[in-house]
Amino acid sequence: MVKPKLMQGNECCALGALAAGVRFFAGYPITPSTEIAEIFSKELPKLGGVFMQMEDEIASLAAVIGASLTGKKAITATSGPGFSLMQENLGFAAVAEVPCVIVNVMRLGPSTGMPTLPAQSDVMQARWGTHGDHSVIALAPSSVKEAFCLTVRAVNLAERYRVPVVLLMDEVIGHLRERVVFQPDEKVVQWERKQCLNPKSSQPFEETADGIPPFFSFGGEYRHHVTGLVHDESGFPTSQREGISRLIRRLHYKITQHLSDIVQVEEFFVDDADVLIIAYGSTARSAQAAVVRAREEGKKAGLLRLITLWPFPEKEVSTAAVNKKAVIVPEMNMGQLALEVARVLPDKNLLFPINRVDGELVTPDEILSVMGRIY
Amino acid sequence: MCAVYHKYLRLDHLPHIWCPGCGNGIVMGAFIRAMEDLKYDQNEVVVVSGIGCSGRISGYLDFNTLHTTHGRALAFATGIKAAEPRLKIFVFMGDGDATAIGGNHLIHACRRNIDMTAIIINNCTFGMTGGQFSPMTPKGKKASTAPYGTVERNFDIPALAQAAGATLVARVGIYQVNLLRELIVKASHHKGFALLEVISQCPVNYGRRNQMGDPAEMLEDQKGIIKSAGLGQGLENYFGQIFQSEQPEFIEEYNKMIVQAQKKGGCDV
Ligand SMILES: Cc1ncc(C[n+]2csc(CCOP(=O)(O)OP(=O)(O)O)c2C)c(N)n1
């Protein structure tokens, strides 16, 4: 028998990053993410890694990008206000294609808001927070164990696709303590970034078949230039129309071309359901409880839990919504992901958002009462 | 062009974008000559720059080069150095870059005393965006956003850096190219955070607005100031090396902490 451990979401997130091979953390303390920094400050030195508490979140992501350019796996953790400060450098990481992970333990905003109360307030900030068009991946764990697994996955996706990956954890999951079981044969798989093997035949920002250029690291065998300016395949600034558009389009398709590898959802009684709930993060836990209770009452409810929020699981959502009488989207915000769901539903009248913005969880009762009104 | 320049320049990315009479090329030339003295393997050197005219230096130099976001060069450089301490780091910034938007990173890099050489090219203006006043524009000087002359005072960079904890601080005129070369070598040999302020000229966006004449006249003026400056006249008048001290360096201190942490036992994962 494996002994279960009582663990916290933030703790699992930090340990997941270490297991994934992260050896560099730079951050600035902010509730409700601070435990992550504290754990890194304790564990990274033991592993010969680097923990840095920077002067602000702008510097934190800058340092993370700098570390990643030397080939190290690097991560930062913050919450809404700090995530806002990181946006400019997040765009830099996107255009310069620097692998990195940004954990955002979401709290209620805007501004200082309610620092200790949960929300799912940064779903859209994660997608559109930085300026310009760019690709991004965002994942949302629903349990403490999943905080571990998805942090590993976030690191892996960042390395494989050379993108910033955002782990959108709500405060409930970040601070939740629950039973976690790690099986003895459970292995953490590490994905590595594609390395440049022959600089004579490849370029640092080359348009390869899979859209992902090989990585040249600072201090490696080949020198190159990294800039936030639009650049050509050599990495140097270009102002040629064709080159500009080619880069921006590639930043998109290197993600959209690999949706089957990136997008993950989980189905719970979806097939025969009349009413579908689409939820993520801690809200999905209430949704699952609501489905169980509805089924006990003979109501055909189902849950599509989104694990990947960005790129939005368009195909999975539209397939799951086929023949449903209603789609309920509970969120701890004023309806951010609901906008995306509405976009892919055949009939917008099927959508029933539930929005909670008082720092409390959406409860199974609330979901059931909405369900009761429509079905 | 002499062989040393060929070795360190990315010739296929020249000509540069700088205006005639700009000081950036002079600083770049002195830097290349300093590299010739230092004889580092080019693969082991990282040149980091911010955004501005001066920020373009990184693209022309043949090292590992990183052109970052406006004001953040030192924060990126800190990540590189901490992750790969064997690399030699040089950071180029404009005065707006380093003391306006990047002022916070500047004082904290000084405080950390992390081993790298930072060069602020102070042309007293925001060159790239067309000559707005910067925190280094002397009071009363005109700028595109100070048509009646600035009402603000400027920073004294060496005094600021020294107070913040930098362990080698110098101000040098662009006129003093040989001294600049020597100071870059000295700064790179120095263990800790070394900051060089190079007083430069922007004839197009600053000199022109302030009737300072052509680039040659701006340099002649600088020569006059340098000649009259000397020790004991206060920092603002002194050119050349100003301050050097030995203090614990960040990476060395961090490594000591690692030894401590590892004595205490392994990781939980
Ligand atoms: C966040 C941000 N704000 C503003 C700008 C616009 N901008 C580009 S360069 C610059 C100032 C450059 O002045 P300085 O740092 O003194 O360098 P110089 O061009 O004189 O070398 C500004 C304000 C920017 N690129 N990014």
Pairing, β A301-306 against β A265-268:
antiparallel
pLDDT at site B267: 53
How sure is the predictor about B227, in pLDDT bands with cuts at 50, 70 and 90?
Answer: low
End of a domain among A132, A154, A180? A180
- Six-digit token string for A80: 């809404």
Closest C-alpha among A138, A254, A177 to residue A6 = A177
CATH code at B241? Answer: 3.40.50.970
Residue A311 — very low, low, confident or very high, per pLDDT cuts 50/70/90?
Answer: very high
Chain segment A249-282, per-residue pLDDT in tens: 999 999 999 999 999 999 999 999 999 999 999 9
Asked whether the beta carbons of B46 and B116 are under 8 A apart, the reply is no
Say how many Å lie between the first and final Cα of chain A, rounded.
44
Q: Where are the alpha helices (DSSP H) in B167-214?
A: 177-189
Return the axis-axis angle of helices B103-112 and A57-69, rounded to nearest 10°: 60
CB contact (8 A) between residue B82 and residue A63: yes
pLDDT value for B10: 97
Among candidates B67, B79, B108 on the partner chain, residue whose Cβ is nearest the Cβ of A55: B108
Pocket test for ligand 1, best of B121, B129, B132, B157 (most atoms within 8 A of CB): B129
- Which residue range is the domain that position A90 belongs to? 5-180
Using CA of residue A128, residue A130, residue A136, residue A141, what is the dihedral sign? negative
Atom of ligand 1 nearest to the CA of B51: 9
Distance CA A178, CA A159 (A): 29
Position B24 confidence tier, pLDDT thresholds 50, 70, 90: very high
Number of domains in chain A: 2
> Is residue B31 a part of any domain in this protein?
yes
Domain boundary among A180, A195, A211: A180
Residue B225, pLDDT score? 74
User: What average pLDDT is seen over chain B?
Assistant: 92
Distance from CA of A69 to the nearest CA of B (A): 7
Asked whether residue A364 is domain-assigned, the answer is yes
Task: Tell me, yes or no, whether A210 lies in a domain.
Answer: no
Q: What span, in angstroms and rounded, lies between the C-alpha atoms of A291 and A284? A: 10
- Are residues A141 and A42 part of one domain? yes
The region, left, alpha or beta by phi > 0 then psi within -120 to 50, assigned to residue B6 is alpha
CA distances from A366 to A20, A232, A286, A342 (A): 38, 53, 9, 21
Q: State the pLDDT at residue B266.
A: 56
pLDDT tens-digit map of B131-190: 999 999 999 999 999 999 999 999 999 999 999 999 999 999 998 999 999 999 999 999
DSSP label at residue A56: S
Q: How many structural domains compose chain B?
A: 1
What tokens were used for B124? 């007293």
* pLDDT of amino acid B232: 46
pLDDT digits (tens, 9 = 90+) for A8-60: 999 999 999 999 999 999 999 999 999 999 999 999 999 999 999 999 999 99
Q: In terms of DSSP H, where are the helices of B174-238?
A: 177-189, 215-228
Sequence letter at residue B240: G
DSSP string, A121-157: TTHHHHHHSSSS----EEE---SHHHHHHHHHHHHHH
A237 CA → ligand 1 middle, Å: 17
- pTM flag (> 0.95): yes
What pLDDT score does A255 carry?
A: 97
Nearest partner of A83 among A66, A58, A63, judged by Cα: A58
ipTM here: 0.97
A126: closest CA of chain B, how far (Å): 20
**Residue B117 is inside which H or E element, if any?**
strand B116-122
- For the segment A325-346, the average pLDDT, to the nearest whole number, is 97
Name the token pair of B63. 């090292």
Is B78 within 8 Å of A66 when comparing Cβ atoms? yes
A281 part of a folded domain = yes
Tell me the pLDDT tens digit for each residue of A133-172: 988 999 999 999 999 999 999 999 999 999 999 999 999 9
What percent of chain B shows pLDDT beyond 90?
86
Is residue B190 within 8 A of residue B247, CB to CB? The reply is no
Any long-range contacts for B13-19 (C-beta under 8 Å, 24+ apart)?
A: B13/A236, B13/B59, B13/B60, B14/B60, B16/B56, B16/B60, B17/B53, B17/B56, B18/B53, B18/B56, B19/B202, B19/B203, B19/B204
The pLDDT tens digits for B1-22 are: 567 899 999 999 999 999 999 9
CATH number at residue A44: 3.40.50.970
The predicted structure's pLDDT at residue A375: 83
CATH number at residue A305: 3.40.50.920
In Å, how far is B240's CA from the nearest CA of chain A? Answer: 30
- Whether cis (ω within 30° of 0) applies to the bond prior to A32 is yes
| Confidence band, pLDDT 50/70/90 cuts, at residue B235 | very low
The stretch A354-364 carries a mean pLDDT of 97
| pLDDT the model gives residue A200 | 79
Residue B187 counted as domain residue: yes
Mean pLDDT over each residue of chain A, to the nearest integer: 96
Of B67, B78, B269, the CB nearest to A63: B78
Query: Which residues in chain B have Cβ-Cβ distances shorter than 8 Å to A15?
Result: 268-269
Report pLDDT for B238: 61
What is the per-residue pLDDT across B53-70, written as a single tens digit (0 to 9) for each?
A: 999 999 999 999 999 999
Write down which residue in A148, A180, A212 finishes a domain. A180
- pLDDT recorded at residue B229: 57
- Predicted local distance difference test score (pLDDT) of residue A88: 98
Q: What is the share, in percent, of chain A residues with pLDDT greater than 70? A: 100
B132 lies in a domain? yes
Q: Quick check: B228 pLDDT over 90?
A: no
* For residues A117-129, average pLDDT: 97
Q: Cα separations (Å) of B251 from A51, A246, B104, B116?
A: 11, 41, 20, 11
pLDDT tens digit sequence for B88-117: 999 999 999 999 999 999 999 999 999 999
Summarize the confidence of residues B214-233 as an average pLDDT. Answer: 75
More confident residue, A198 or A101: A101
Distance, CA of A351 to CA of A187 (rounded, Å): 40
**B145-153: long-range contacts (C-beta < 8 A, 24 or more apart)?**
none
| Pair (A69, A166) in one structural domain | yes
Banded pLDDT at A1 (limits 50, 70, 90) = low
CB B124 within 8 A of CB B152: no
- What per-residue confidence (pLDDT) applies to A202? 85
Whole-angstrom distance, CA of residue B10 vs CA of residue B18: 16
Predicted confidence (pLDDT) at residue B236 exceeds the cutoff of 60: no
- The conformation of residue B204, written as its DSSP 8-state character, comes to I
pLDDT tens-digit map of A55-89: 999 999 999 999 999 999 999 999 999 999 999 99
- pLDDT for B264: 75
In whole angstroms, what is the distance from residue B179 CA to residue B172 CA?
7
Instruction: Determine the structural domain holding residue B164 and report its residue range.
Output: 3-264
pLDDT band per the 50, 70, 90 thresholds, residue A299: very high
Output Rg (C-alpha) for chain A, integer angstroms.
Answer: 21
| Residues with a CB atom less than 6 Å from ligand 1 | B 51-54, 70, 94-97, 123, 125-129, 134
Q: Is B269 part of a structural domain of the chain?
A: no
